[in-house]
């Protein structure tokens, strides 16, 4: 590769440029996230997330800030692999790609290395930094990207099969799904009784929106000892309603008249002196997009966006996979080996400084 023929001075200059670009992207993220504690801005982000739900919160945010009308994004070579060519003169969208290192896989209980049947130590990849990655939107390539026609739904009609797919996920989590009185609300989730209930006298469209909302409550459960009241309740309601919005939009269910149950000031109420509004918004956004992607991976398997994300992953040297199909919750999470990229010296140096706004929230699919 050409990069191997660089002189030491050229390599240092390239690493310096890369670090400056990453810093600029982080600053752009911080400014954008600080302005998300408002209904209109948050709903605009949700619209973008519904189109790019396979990407991380940060990269959806960066895409929205640089190209608000983006619909599908991929790298230059990824578009070529799909039979498209980026037009000359098009400006790239800069997002953040993962830089990882190889580490031993260790038993979480004993601390001993995990070995295969032949006694060989098993390894995984650990995120140690990020690097700028150039991607382009579908509107920047030729020939035009052909997408399947959107289904035409009558007023009050739900996408075929969506209720059943959502119900499968509810039941896979060990909850019973029923229809009936919800005390004036459209739905409710009973954690102790392990029941999800949806009001019986609403049309199909409202029923699936409500079910998606309650499924989000099931998947994003309150932390141990967390009171479901006050600031916590406001944040949880925004999370659940946001997931429902993204899932509905991903299935072309009309969201123009969506009754977005937004809790004003939710981020300010949930913030603390040690954990500011920006951190609250970033973490909430990460949970929303991860949860929505897990749901859509089950309700709307492998589509064009998935193929593009896989192509981007291959371009970066990252293994990307859809969230697994619905299965019963297990006591311990599976171990997934997801990264295969070898960091450059500059990226290793950058790993020694903290990366803001990522606070350990993992994305089930592509880690970008």
User: In angstroms, rounded to a whole number, what is the distance separating the alpha carbons of residues 187 and 198?
Assistant: 4
With CA atoms as reference, report the closest residue to 338 among 40, 98, 86, 153.
98
Q: State yes or no: pLDDT of 355 exceeds 50.
A: no
Q: What is the pLDDT of residues 207-216, one digit of tens each?
A: 999 999 999 9
- Model confidence at 246, pLDDT cuts 50, 70, 90, reads very high
Q: How many CA atoms lie within 13 A of 131 on its CB side?
A: 22
The beta-carbon contacts of 156-160 under 8 Å, at least 24 apart in sequence, are 156/203, 156/204, 156/205, 156/206, 157/203, 157/204, 157/205, 158/204, 158/205, 158/207, 158/208, 158/253, 159/208, 159/251, 159/252, 159/253
The span from the first CA to the last CA of the chain, in angstroms, equals 24
Query: Alpha helices, DSSP H only, in the chain?
Result: 8-34, 39-51, 57-66, 76-81, 162-172, 204-219, 230-250, 266-270, 277-299, 304-316, 345-350
Q: State yes or no: pLDDT of 6 exceeds 50.
A: yes
User: In angstroms, rounded to a whole number, what is the distance separating the alpha carbons of residues 57 and 61?
Assistant: 6
Average pLDDT over residues 72-96: 93
Name residue, tokens 């000031």. 265
Q: Which residue has the higher pLDDT, 334 or 145?
A: 145
Q: State yes or no: pLDDT of 18 exceeds 50.
A: yes
Q: Which residue has the higher pLDDT, 125 or 79?
A: 79
Q: State yes or no: pLDDT of 298 exceeds 50.
A: yes
- Model confidence at 352, pLDDT cuts 50, 70, 90, reads very low
Average pLDDT over residues 79-90: 94
Q: In residues, how long is the chain?
A: 368
| The dihedral formed by the CA atoms of 225, 228, 230 and 235, expressed in degrees to the nearest 10 | 100
What is the pLDDT at residue 152? 61
Measured N-to-C along each axis, helices 277-299 and 162-172 cross at an angle, to the nearest 10 degrees, of: 110
- Model confidence at 127, pLDDT cuts 50, 70, 90, reads confident
What is the pLDDT at residue 348? 42
- Model confidence at 290, pLDDT cuts 50, 70, 90, reads very high
Q: State yes or no: pLDDT of 271 exceeds 60.
A: yes
Q: Which residue has the higher pLDDT, 361 or 133?
A: 133
- Please check whether residue 61 is in contact with residue 69, taking contact to mean a CB–CB distance below 8 angstroms: no
- Model confidence at 188, pLDDT cuts 50, 70, 90, reads very high
Strand partners, 2: none
Q: Which residue has the higher pLDDT, 359 or 11?
A: 11
What is the pLDDT at residue 215? 97
Measured N-to-C along each axis, helices 277-299 and 204-219 cross at an angle, to the nearest 10 degrees, of: 120
Please provide the average confidence, as pLDDT, over all residues in the chain. Answer: 79
pTM score, two decimals?
Answer: 0.75
Q: Is the dihedral of CA 249, 262, 292, 189 positive or negative?
A: negative
Average pLDDT over residues 150-166: 81
Average pLDDT over residues 48-75: 92
Range scoring the smallest mean pLDDT among 8-22, 114-128, 257-271: 257-271
- Model confidence at 68, pLDDT cuts 50, 70, 90, reads very high
- Model confidence at 364, pLDDT cuts 50, 70, 90, reads very low
Q: Is the dihedral of CA 215, 299, 93, 135 positive or negative?
A: positive
Q: Which residue has the higher pLDDT, 155 or 84?
A: 84
Range scoring the smallest mean pLDDT among 65-69, 153-157, 169-173, 327-331: 327-331
Q: What is the DSSP letter of 140?
A: G
User: In angstroms, rounded to a whole number, what is the distance separating the alpha carbons of residues 173 and 328?
Assistant: 6
What is the pLDDT at residue 216? 96
Q: State yes or no: pLDDT of 349 exceeds 90.
A: no
What is the pLDDT at residue 113? 86
What is the pLDDT at residue 338? 26
Angle (CA) 146 150 156, round 5°:
170
């Amino acid at each position: 590769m050409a990069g191997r023929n660089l002189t030491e001075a050229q390599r240092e200059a390239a690493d310096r440029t890369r670090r400056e670009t990453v810093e600029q992207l982080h600053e752009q993220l911080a400014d954008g996230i600080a302005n998300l504690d408002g209904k209109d801005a948050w709903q605009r982000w949700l619209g973008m997330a519904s189109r790019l739900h396979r990407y991380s919160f940060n990269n959806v945010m960066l895409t929205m800030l640089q190209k608000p009308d983006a619909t599908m994004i991929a790298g230059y070579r990824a578009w070529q692999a799909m039979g498209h060519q980026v037009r000359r003169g098009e400006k790239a969208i800069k997002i953040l790609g993962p830089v990882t290192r190889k580490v031993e896989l260790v038993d979480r209980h004993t601390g001993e290395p995990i070995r295969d049947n032949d006694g060989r130590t098993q390894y995984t990849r650990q995120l140690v930094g990020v690097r700028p990655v150039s991607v382009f939107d579908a509107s920047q390539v030729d020939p035009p990207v052909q997408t399947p026609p959107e289904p035409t739904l009558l007023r009050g009609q739900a996408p075929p099969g969506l209720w059943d797919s959502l119900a499968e996920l509810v039941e896979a989590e060990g909850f019973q799904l029923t229809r009936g009185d919800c005390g004036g609300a459209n739905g409710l989730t009973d954690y102790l009784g392990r029941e999800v209930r949806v009001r019986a006298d609403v049309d199909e469209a409202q029923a699936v929106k409500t079910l998606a909302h309650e499924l989000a409550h099931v998947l994003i459960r309150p932390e141990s000892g967390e009171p479901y009241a006050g600031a916590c309740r406001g944040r949880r309601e925004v999370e659940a309603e946001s997931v429902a919005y993204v899932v509905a939009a991903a299935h072309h269910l009309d969201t123009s008249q969506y009754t977005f149950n937004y809790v004003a000031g939710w981020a300010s109420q949930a913030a603390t002196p040690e954990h500011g509004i920006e951190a609250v918004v970033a973490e909430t956004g990460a949970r929303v997009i991860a949860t929505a992607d897990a749901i859509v991976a089950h309700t709307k398997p492998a589509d064009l966006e998935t193929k593009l994300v896989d192509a981007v992953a291959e371009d970066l040297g990252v293994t990307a996979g859809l969230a697994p199909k619905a299965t019963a919750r297990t006591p311990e999470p599976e171990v997934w080996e997801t990264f295969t990229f070898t960091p450059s010296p500059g990226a290793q140096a950058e790993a020694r400084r903290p990366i803001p706004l990522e606070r350990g929230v993992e994305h089930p699919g592509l880690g970008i």
